Amino acid sequence: MSDVKRKQNVLNVKQKLEILQKLDKGESASTDAEDILNEGNTISHSAALQSAETLLDYMGQRGFDYGDITAVRKICVDIRLEMNKQQKQRLITDFFFKQQILKGKFLV
């Protein structure tokens, strides 16, 4: 999986300003930023997890090989780990943005 190339998306100045204004009002802007960055043909982690779990159920019902089922379980675990990692990153980012805004040190 380390060979997978990922397209990096970057927020433009207007999008950053909108997010900062929401943070200034005390709102969480992490989902807005994620939505902006995920525009296009990307699939959300929750949709990917649901599909993998559906496949896992199907494989269990049809009597697939244990090794194949284990591989799909591993994919589910990897998706959950990535979801948790992104959630932690959003919390950290929101915290630091709020700290910078409260201290008045953030320049737009």
Question: What integer pLDDT is reported at residue 61 of this predicted model?
Answer: 93
The tally of domains found in the chain comes to 1
> Each residue of 11-32: pLDDT tens digit?
677 777 777 777 667 666 555 5
Give the pTM: 0.54
Q: Compute CA distances 94 → 5, 78, 91, 102, whole Å.
A: 27, 24, 5, 12
- Residue 63's region, left for phi above 0, alpha for psi from -120 to 50, else beta, is left
Residue at 36 is within a domain? no
* Distance between first and last Cα of the chain: 37
CA distance 56 to 49: 10
Residue at 78 is within a domain? yes
Q: Can you give the residue range of the structural domain that contains 90? A: 2-27+43-105
Residue at 37 is within a domain? no
Query: For the purposes of burial, counting CB atoms within 10 Å of the CB of 33, is it exposed (0-12), middle (13-18) or buried (19 or more)?
Result: buried
Question: What integer pLDDT is reported at residue 98 of this predicted model?
Answer: 81
> Each residue of 65-107: pLDDT tens digit?
999 999 999 999 999 999 999 999 989 988 888 877 767 665 5
Residue at 38 is within a domain? no
